[in-house]
Chains A and B, each alone.
Chain A
Amino acid sequence: MSTIKANVVQSTTGGATTLTDLYPARAWVNFNGAGTVAIRAEGNVSSISDIGTGAIRVNFTSAFGDAFYSCPAGLSDSDINAAQAIMVQPELTSRLRIQTDAVNGDPDDCDYVFISVIR
């Protein structure tokens, strides 16, 4: 068995590496979408934009080579009647859009929203 010790692993151009048969998240974010919108933690996310009730745009630090990424997402809310559905739309190589809705289908802000981006 070999052990590799390194602080940073990059591609030859300095970007994300390609790992054979492994597909790690290239970006992720955990944010509060209710009240004063705030990022709790993230990776490869330069900002989020609150663009309306339940609607958040996530802007990537480094754009993807195309917009064909996959975005598993989840949410959790302190109010059981609040947001219970999440939709994610890869808009551009540099950003995606999230919409959270309440049980009745109306847009609703959500306390905890989590998303990762795999490509």
Chain B
Amino acid sequence: MSNYRVIFEDPEQPEQPAKVLVPSDNWLEEAKAGLLPPISVYWALQDDEQQAIAEGRHDTFKHDPEKHAAQWTAPRIGPLTEEEAIEYLIMKDIPRHIWSVEYNRPMFKIVKTADVPSDRQFRNAWRLAA
């Protein structure tokens, strides 16, 4: 099991509780084995889909076959450490506006798994400090 979790908040939903990203062990093993494509492959897919949503055509949206296949055909980026893999996962699975924009306080934080409280009410009251 991963030693890390990622706590993040969505600045577009300030009333919502802090969220917790839980990495998959299998995915981490793939990352450590160097089996991941460049993150730009996922960003290209996300960009196309977000554009379709913005233009109101998500109901009929399909990925470009070549861009979709790049998930498997693009050259692999090589082995990552667990810390590097978590940073990659943030850029892949957490919405981009949360980590790519500088706010007046942090919107995400990588924490040790043991530091995440199991109590839901306590967790829902969390806010990331500056």
Q: Do A and B bind each other?
A: yes
- Asked whether, in the complex, the Cβ of A63 is within 8 Å of the Cβ of B22, the reply is no
Number of interface residues of A (CB under 8 A): 35
- Whole-angstrom distance from the CB of B19 to the nearest CB of chain A? 5
- Whole-angstrom distance from the CB of A22 to the nearest CB of chain B? 20
A50 within 8 A of B: yes
B81 within 8 A of A: no
The 8 Å CB contact of A109, one of B20, B89, B120, is B120
Chain B interface size range: 35 or more
A35 within 8 A of B: yes
Interface string of B13-44 (1 = CB under 8 A from A): 00011011111111100100000000000100
- Asked whether, in the complex, the Cβ of B93 is within 8 Å of the Cβ of A49, the reply is yes
How would you classify the secondary structure of chain A's contact residues: helix, strand, loop or mixed?
loop
- Asked whether, in the complex, the Cβ of A50 is within 8 Å of the Cβ of B20, the reply is yes
* Extra contacts besides A48-B21, A52-B19 (20): CB < 8 Å: A10-B72, A13-B73, A35-B120, A36-B116, A36-B118, A42-B24, A43-B26, A45-B24, A45-B27, A46-B89, A46-B93, A47-B23, A47-B27, A47-B89, A48-B24, A51-B16, A52-B124, A61-B24, A63-B71, A94-B42
| A-B contacts, 5 listed (Cβ < 8 Å) | A14-B73, A15-B68, A47-B21, A63-B63, A66-B62
- Give A residues with C-beta under 8 Å from B: 10-11, 13-15, 31, 34-39, 42-43, 45-53, 59, 61-63, 65-67, 92-95, 109
- Give B residues with C-beta under 8 Å from A: 1, 16-17, 19-27, 30, 42, 45-46, 49, 58, 61-63, 65, 68-69, 71-73, 89, 92-94, 113, 116, 118, 120, 123-124
